Amino acid sequence: MLPDLIETGIDAINPVQLRAAKMDPIKLKREFGNDITFWGGGCDTQEILPRGTPEQVKNEVRKRIDQFAPGGGFVFCPIHNVQPDVPMENLDALFEAYSEWS
């Protein structure tokens, strides 16, 4: 589906829902990174952000930046909306990791 969207002139995709089928970040960047900007995908909001430890959040952020940022075409933000049950220390960890790693 992404090739068809790119062909129509779409130049960004949001969200980058990495838990969805066929949404492998390395494959996405390799195959489409020259043609489309990935807006999101910076941290899993279904499991890691609400239920992980601050260190797990930081590791997730670093991993996603390493996967999506090289060569440009990446707007860092969580995969989807941040829900109200996310612990504040995990949000702090997300922003700290982004500031340190980007």
- pLDDT, tens only, 6-32: 999 999 999 898 888 888 999 999 999
pTM for this predicted structure: 0.90
Rounded CA-CA distance 73/76 in Å is: 10
Q: Which of 99, 87, 15, 20 has its CA nearest to residue 48?
A: 87
Helix (H, G, I), strand (E, B) or coil at 3: helix
Secondary structure letter of residue 81 according to DSSP: P
Q: Which of 95, 44, 35, 101 has its CA nearest to residue 71?
A: 35
Give the pLDDT of residue 80: 86
| pLDDT category of residue 71 using cuts at 50, 70 and 90 | very high
Q: Which residues face 13 on adjacent strands? A: 38
Q: What is the mean pLDDT of residues 68-83?
A: 94
